[in-house]
């Protein structure tokens, strides 16, 4: 599992744009920037939609006021699903939605979550991290079923 002080591996996400899905590299997201990244098992799932994502949306201004350039969310879903989730959650244009459709990033950082038995295939664990110029500064991996340890309020206290 990735740890504090490690550099994120090079990876390529997909983002939804007005022209359709486009690649977005880890360099484009993280180089030279202070980024809060959080991850969850799936777009539109209850805890993710009702708790984890809204927490970051509702605390976005407070997080940005601490010098964070970007708040981004990643999940193992395709860019069409992530784009639809951004719109329906009123996060479009506020939070970056990074589709990790084949779980390459989640697995590269050792935070994949196998939900095959639940019919969901390979997913991502729920976590949040503060990343400065590509290097992990804080890491909160959720151990239980909630979204507190990796939630926006925990992150606000760490920036």
Least separation in angstroms between residue 118's CB and ligand BEZ is: 6
Active-site hit among 48, 71, 81, 109: 48
Binding window for ligand BEZ (CB under 6 A); candidates: 16-24, 27-35, 45-53, 74-82: 45-53
91 close to 69: Cβ distance less than 8 angstroms: no
Cα 27 to Cα 114: distance, rounded to the nearest angstrom: 27
Mark whether 48 is an active-site residue: yes
119 contacts ligand BEZ (rule: CB under 6 A): no
Cα 26 to Cα 11: distance, rounded to the nearest angstrom: 6
Applying CB under 6 A, among 39, 41, 124, 127 the residue interacting with ligand BEZ is 41
Q: Record the tokens describing residue 47, joined without a space.
A: 């805890």
What is Dmax (Cα atoms) for the chain? 42
Cα 150 to Cα 146: distance, rounded to the nearest angstrom: 9
Per rule CB under 6 A, count of chain residues that contact ligand BEZ: 6
Cα 123 to Cα 41: distance, rounded to the nearest angstrom: 5
Cα 114 to Cα 31: distance, rounded to the nearest angstrom: 30
Applying CB under 6 A, among 14, 30, 42, 76 the residue interacting with ligand BEZ is 42
Binding window for ligand BEZ (CB under 6 A); candidates: 22-30, 41-49, 83-91, 128-136: 41-49
- Using the minimum distance from each CB to ligand BEZ, give the nearer residue, 18 or 145: 145
73 contacts ligand BEZ (rule: CB under 6 A): no
Say whether 35 sits in a helix, a strand or coil. Answer: strand
46 contacts ligand BEZ (rule: CB under 6 A): yes
Interface with ligand BEZ (CB under 6 A): 41-42, 45-48
Q: Residues with catalytic annotation? A: 48
């Amino acid at each position: 599992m990735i740890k504090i002080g490690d550099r994120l591996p090079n990876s390529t996400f997909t983002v939804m744009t007005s022209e359709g899905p486009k690649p977005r590299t880890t360099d484009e997201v993280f180089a030279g920037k202070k980024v809060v990244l959080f991850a969850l098992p799936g777009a539109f799932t209850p805890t993710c939609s009702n708790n984890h994502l809204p927490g970051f949306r509702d605390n976005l201004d407070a997080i940005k006021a601490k010098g964070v350039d970007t708040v981004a969310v990643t999940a193992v879903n395709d860019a069409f699903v992530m784009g639809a989730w951004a719109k329906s959650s009123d996060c479009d244009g506020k939070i970056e939605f990074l589709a990790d459709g084949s779980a390459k990033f989640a697995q590269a950082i050792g935070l994949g979550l196998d939900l095959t038995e639940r019919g969901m295939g390979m997913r991502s664990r729920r976590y949040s991290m503060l990343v400065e110029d590509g290097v992990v500064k804080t890491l909160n991996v959720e151990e239980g079923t909630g979204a507190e340890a990796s939630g926006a309020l925990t992150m606000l206290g760490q920036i």
